[in-house]
C-alpha cells in the first residue's frame, strides 16, 4: 500500500520524503504518532525506572507519553509558553514557545522530543528547524506532528532532520481515518509491529515469527484501499496549486477576519503570535463554545469547538474550550462575512 502511494506522481511532488521504505500508511495521524512514541518507550523499558524525561509541547503528544509513562514510571516534561511582552501573565493571548525552558529541558538528556510545526489550537508556527537541531544535539529522537503544517506549506523531512513525521489525510483534502508516518528506516525496522495480520510476516513457525521490513510490518491485514486512493486525490489537488504562493491569500483572510471580530467586545482571541498560521481561535463571554458552534452551524458556518486535543494548553489560558475558524486556499472574504453575521445572530440567541 505504501509503495502504491509513494510511486504516484502527486505524492512524489508533494512530499519529497515519501519513500516506500520509510512511510507507513494506516490510521489517522494521531494513531501513527501514538505508535511511534510508544515504540520509543518500549525500546527503553529496561531503563524505565530512571528514564530521562520526554519533552512535548501539546496534549496530543502528552497523552501518548503520560499513558506509556504511567505504565513504566518514566518521566515527561512540557515545554512552556509565554506571552511576548508579558511573560508573567497566566492569561496570555499572544503565545509563542519559550525557548529558554525548552533549552533547559534538553539539558536533561531526553530520549524523545515531540512537538508540532503548527499549533492546531492557536496557529502558532514553531521554529521546527531550530527545535529539531537542538533536540538532535541533545541526543534525542525527534517526533514531529505535521498535521496542521502539511496542508499549508511544503514539507521536506530530510531538510527538517527529524526521525519521525506524521500527518493526517483529512487535513490535506483527503478522507478521514488515514494518515502517514515517515520514519527513518533503521528506527522503523527496530520497532515491533503493533498489529498482526497478512502481508506483514515473512514466516510463521511455532517457535518464532519473522516480520517483513518496514513499512510492510506495520500494514497488517487488508489495507485502507479506498482511503489511500482518497489520500492520493487530496495530494493531487494540493500539488495542482502554487503552494509557495498559498500563504498570502490565507493570511489575507486571517487578517481580515481578525479585524472584523474586533467589533465584538465579548469575544477574546486566543493566540496572536507573530507570523502565525491562518487559524482564528477565540472564546466568547457568556456563551459556551459548543452552543456557539451549534448556532454557527445552523447559519452554514463550519467551525471547530472544544479543547482541540490541547487541554493542557486550554488550562494555560484558564478556559475549557474555544471556537476555531481555520482558513484555507478555497475560502473567501464572503465566508468571513458570513461568520461575522452568524456571530451577531448567535449573540442575540444565547444572551
Q: What pLDDT digit, counting tens, does each position of 54-74 carry? A: 344 444 444 444 444 444 545
Instruction: Look at residue 2 in the predicted model and tell me its pLDDT.
Output: 59
Looking at the fold, whether 213 and 257 belong to one and the same domain comes out as: no
Give how far Cα 176 sits from Cα of 10, 126, 230, 241, Å.
19, 25, 9, 22
Q: Is the pLDDT of residue 253 over 90?
A: yes
Looking at the fold, whether 7 and 122 belong to one and the same domain comes out as: yes
Q: Is the pLDDT of residue 297 over 90?
A: yes
52, 110 in Cβ contact below 8 A?
A: yes
270 exposure class (CB count in 10 Å sphere: 0-12, 13-18, 19+): buried
Looking at the fold, whether 273 and 217 belong to one and the same domain comes out as: no
Work out the average pLDDT over 27-44: 57
Looking at the fold, whether 171 and 225 belong to one and the same domain comes out as: yes
Give how far Cα 193 sits from Cα of 112, 215, 232, 235, Å.
19, 10, 25, 27
Q: CA 175, CA 31: separation in Å to the nearest integer?
A: 15
Instruction: Look at residue 29 in the predicted model and tell me its pLDDT.
Output: 56
Instruction: Look at residue 81 in the predicted model and tell me its pLDDT.
Output: 54
Q: CA 2, CA 22: separation in Å to the nearest integer?
A: 9
Q: CA 66, CA 78: separation in Å to the nearest integer?
A: 11
Q: Is the pLDDT of residue 320 over 80?
A: yes
Instruction: Look at residue 47 in the predicted model and tell me its pLDDT.
Output: 35
Q: Which residue has the cell 510508544?
A: 38
Q: CA 122, CA 278: separation in Å to the nearest integer?
A: 9
Range name among 45-54, 98-107, 167-176 with the lowest pLDDT average: 45-54
User: Quick one: pLDDT band at residue 16, thresholds 50, 70, 90?
Assistant: very low
Q: Mapping DSSP to helix (H, G, I), strand (E, B) and coil, where does residue 172 land? A: helix
Domain count within the chain: 2
Looking at the fold, whether 178 and 266 belong to one and the same domain comes out as: no
Looking at the fold, whether 116 and 213 belong to one and the same domain comes out as: yes
User: Average pLDDT of the chain?
Assistant: 80
Q: CA 294, CA 95: separation in Å to the nearest integer?
A: 28
Work out the average pLDDT over 324-331: 92
Q: CA 312, CA 27: separation in Å to the nearest integer?
A: 24
Instruction: Look at residue 66 in the predicted model and tell me its pLDDT.
Output: 44
Instruction: Please report how many Cα atoms fall inside a 13 Å half-sphere around the Cα of residue 258, on the Cβ side.
Output: 19
Residue 165: which CATH number?
3.40.640.10
Kindly report whether the peptide bond that precedes residue 215 is cis, defined as omega within 30 degrees of 0.
yes
291, 307 in Cβ contact below 8 A?
A: no
Looking at the fold, whether 230 and 253 belong to one and the same domain comes out as: no
Which of 239, 255, 270 is at the close of a domain? Answer: 239
User: In terms of Cα–Cα distance, which of 179, 178, 140 is closest to 162?
Assistant: 140
Looking at the fold, whether 250 and 220 belong to one and the same domain comes out as: no
User: In terms of Cα–Cα distance, which of 95, 100, 94, 101 is closest to 78?
Assistant: 101
Where are the alpha helices (H) located in 91-223, listed in sequence order?
99-106, 128-137, 157-160, 185-190
Q: Is the pLDDT of residue 142 over 50?
A: yes
Q: Is the pLDDT of residue 263 over 80?
A: yes
User: Quick one: pLDDT band at residue 147, thresholds 50, 70, 90?
Assistant: very high
Which of 212, 239, 266 is at the close of a domain? Answer: 239
Q: Is the pLDDT of residue 51 over 50?
A: no
Range name among 36-45, 80-89, 194-203, 252-261 with the lowest pLDDT average: 80-89
Work out the average pLDDT over 175-188: 92
Range name among 33-37, 235-239, 311-315, 316-320 with the lowest pLDDT average: 33-37
Which of 239, 256, 282 is at the close of a domain? Answer: 239
Would residue 309 show up in a list of annotated catalytic residues for this protein?
Answer: yes
Instruction: Look at residue 50 in the predicted model and tell me its pLDDT.
Output: 32
User: Quick one: pLDDT band at residue 343, thresholds 50, 70, 90?
Assistant: very high
Q: CA 184, CA 164: separation in Å to the nearest integer?
A: 7
Q: Which of 99, 233, 309, 350 is catalytic?
A: 309
Q: What is the pTM of this model?
A: 0.81
User: Quick one: pLDDT band at residue 92, thresholds 50, 70, 90?
Assistant: very low
User: What range defines the domain where residue 40 resides?
Assistant: 2-239
181, 36 in Cβ contact below 8 A?
A: yes
Looking at the fold, whether 260 and 309 belong to one and the same domain comes out as: yes
Looking at the fold, whether 132 and 178 belong to one and the same domain comes out as: yes
Looking at the fold, whether 207 and 274 belong to one and the same domain comes out as: no
Residue 259: which CATH number?
3.90.1150.10
Looking at the fold, whether 170 and 213 belong to one and the same domain comes out as: yes
Amino acid at each position: 500500500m505504501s509503495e502504491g502511494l509513494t510511486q504516484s506522481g502527486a505524492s512524489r511532488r508533494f512530499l519529497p520524503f515519501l519513500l516506500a521504505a520509510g512511510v507507513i500508511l494506516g490510521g489517522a495521524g494521531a494513531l501513527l504518532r501514538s505508535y511511534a512514541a510508544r515504540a520509543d518507550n518500549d525500546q527503553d523499558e529496561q531503563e524505565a525506572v530512571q528514564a530521562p524525561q520526554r519533552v512535548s509541547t501539546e496534549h496530543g503528544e502528552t497523552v501518548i507519553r503520560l499513558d506509556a509513562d504511567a505504565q513504566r514510571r518514566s518521566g515527561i516534561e512540557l515545554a512552556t509558553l509565554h506571552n511576548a511582552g508579558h511573560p508573567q501573565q497566566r492569561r496570555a493571548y499572544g503565545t509563542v514557545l519559550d525557548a529558554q525552558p525548552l533549552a533547559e529541558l534538553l539539558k536533561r538528556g531526553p530520549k524523545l522530543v515531540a512537538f508540532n510545526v503548527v499549533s492546531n489550537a492557536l496557529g502558532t508556527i514553531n521554529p521546527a528547524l531550530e527545535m529539531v537541531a537542538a533536540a538532535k544535539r541533545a541526543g534525542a529522537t525527534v517526533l514531529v506532528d505535521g498535521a496542521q503544517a502539511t496542508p499549508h506549506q511544503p514539507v521536506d523531512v530530510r531538510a527538517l532532520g527529524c526521525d519521525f513525521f506524521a500527518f493526517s489525510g483529512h487535513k490535506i483534502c483527503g478522507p478521514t481515518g488515514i494518515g502517514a508516518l515517515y520514519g527513518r528506516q533503521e528506527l522503523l525496522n527496530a520497532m515491533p509491529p503493533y498489529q498482526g495480520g497478512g502481508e506483514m510476516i515473512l514466516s510463521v513457525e511455532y517457535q518464532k515469527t519473522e516480520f517483513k521490513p518496514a513499512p510492510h510490518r506495520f500494514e497488517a491485514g487488508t489495507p485502507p484501499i479506498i482511503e489511500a486512493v482518497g489520500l492520493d486525490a487530496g495530494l493531487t489537488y494540493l500539488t495542482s496549486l502554487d503552494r509557495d504562493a498559498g500563504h498570502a491569500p490565507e493570511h489575507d483572510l486571517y487578517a481580515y477576519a481578525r479585524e472584523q471580530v474586533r467589533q465584538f467586545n465579548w469575544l477574546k482571541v486566543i493566540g496572536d503570535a507573530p507570523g502565525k498560521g491562518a487559524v482564528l481561535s477565540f472564546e466568547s463571554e457568556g456563551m459556551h463554545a459548543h452552543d456557539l458552534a451549534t448556532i454557527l452551524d445552523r447559519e452554514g458556518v463550519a467551525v471547530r469547538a472544544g479543547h482541540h486535543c490541547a487541554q493542557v494548553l486550554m488550562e494555560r489560558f484558564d478556559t475549557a474550550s474555544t471556537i476555531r475558524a481555520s482558513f484555507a486556499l478555497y475560502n473567501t472574504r464572503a465566508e468571513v462575512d458570513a461568520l461575522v453575521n452568524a456571530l451577531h445572530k448567535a449573540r442575540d440567541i444565547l444572551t
